[in-house]
Amino acid sequence: MGIMPGSTPDERKIERISISRAVPGMELARDIYSRNDQMVLGRGSILDAQKISKIMFYSVDTITVYKMEEETEKTLTQQLKESVEFREFSQRYDKTVSSFKDSVNKVISENHEIDGEELLGEIEEIIDQTGSNSRIFNMLHCIRDYDEMTYVHSVNVSLICNCFAKWLDMPEEDKQIITLGGLLHDIGKITIPREILLKPDSLTPDEYEVVKTHTMKGYGILKEKRIDDRIKMIALQHHERADKTGYPYGKSGDEIEPFAMIVAIADVYDAMTSDRVYRPRICPFDVVQALEDGNSKYNAGYLVPLLEQITEVYINHTVRLSNDAIGRVVMINRGELSKPVVQVKNEFMDLTKFRKLKIEEIL
Q: Could you report the per-residue pLDDT of 212-244, keeping only the tens digit for each? A: 999 999 999 999 999 999 999 999 999 999 999
* Bridge partners (DSSP) listed for residue 33: 39
84 or 102: which leads in pLDDT? 102
8 pLDDT above the threshold of 60: no
- Helix, strand or coil, per DSSP, at residue 175: helix
Q: For residue 297, is it within any domain?
A: no
215 shares its domain with 330: no
106 shares its domain with 60: no
Give 127-150 pLDDT, tens digit per residue.
999 989 999 999 998 886 565 689
User: What is the rounded distance in angstroms from the CA atom of residue 239 to the CA atom of residue 249?
Assistant: 10
pLDDT band at 5 (very low <50, low <70, confident <90, very high): very low
User: What is the rounded distance in angstroms from the CA atom of residue 140 to the CA atom of residue 284?
Assistant: 12
> For residue 204, what pLDDT is reported?
96
Q: For residue 312, is it within any domain?
A: no
What one-character-per-residue DSSP string does 268-281 give?
HHHHHHS-BTTB--
> For residue 271, what pLDDT is reported?
93
* pLDDT mean across residues, the chain: 90
CATH number, domain with residue 251: 1.10.3210.10
19 pLDDT above the threshold of 90: no
Q: For residue 300, is it within any domain?
A: no
> For residue 144, what pLDDT is reported?
65
85 shares its domain with 190: yes
Q: How many domains does the chain have?
A: 3
28 shares its domain with 97: no
Q: For residue 2, is it within any domain?
A: no
The DSSP output letter for 188 is G
219 shares its domain with 350: no
Q: Which of 47, 66, 85 is the last residue of a domain?
A: 66
Q: For residue 259, is it within any domain?
A: yes
**Domain boundaries, position 358:** 318-362
Whether residue 34 contacts residue 63, with contact meaning beta carbons closer than 8 Å, is answered with no
Q: For residue 276, is it within any domain?
A: yes
> For residue 9, what pLDDT is reported?
54
86 or 6: which leads in pLDDT? 86
- Helix, strand or coil, per DSSP, at residue 317: coil
7 pLDDT above the threshold of 70: no
188 shares its domain with 144: yes
Q: For residue 298, is it within any domain?
A: no
Cα separation values, 134 from 152, 162, 238, 313, 325, Å: 19, 12, 24, 5, 25
Whether residue 143 contacts residue 179, with contact meaning beta carbons closer than 8 Å, is answered with no
Phi and psi at residue 343, in whole multiples of 5°?
A: -90, 120
> For residue 4, what pLDDT is reported?
43
Give 33-68 pLDDT, tens digit per residue.
988 888 999 999 988 878 888 888 888 888 999 886
259 shares its domain with 211: yes
Whether residue 269 contacts residue 306, with contact meaning beta carbons closer than 8 Å, is answered with no
229 shares its domain with 87: yes
CA-angle at 309, arms to 306 and 313, nearest 5°: 140
What one-character-per-residue DSSP string does 39-63 give?
EEE-TTPBP-HHHHHHHHHTT--EE
26 shares its domain with 125: no
Cα separation values, 178 from 63, 265, 289, Å: 62, 12, 25
273 shares its domain with 134: yes
User: What is the rounded distance in angstroms from the CA atom of residue 170 to the CA atom of residue 307?
Assistant: 17
- Mean pLDDT calculated for residue range 96-123: 94
For the chain, the residue count is: 363
275 shares its domain with 329: no
Whether residue 231 contacts residue 223, with contact meaning beta carbons closer than 8 Å, is answered with no
Percent of the chain residues topping a pLDDT of 90: 70
Nearest to 277, CA basis, from 202, 209, 186, 208: 202
Q: For residue 306, is it within any domain?
A: no
13 or 227: which leads in pLDDT? 227
* Bridge partners (DSSP) listed for residue 327: 319
CATH number, domain with residue 32: 3.90.105.10
User: What is the rounded distance in angstroms from the CA atom of residue 119 to the CA atom of residue 198?
Assistant: 26
323 shares its domain with 204: no
pLDDT band at 3 (very low <50, low <70, confident <90, very high): very low
195 pLDDT above the threshold of 50: yes
User: What is the rounded distance in angstroms from the CA atom of residue 123 to the CA atom of residue 100?
Assistant: 10
31 pLDDT above the threshold of 70: yes
> For residue 147, what pLDDT is reported?
57
Cα separation values, 65 from 34, 58, 68, 132, 188, Å: 17, 17, 8, 46, 62
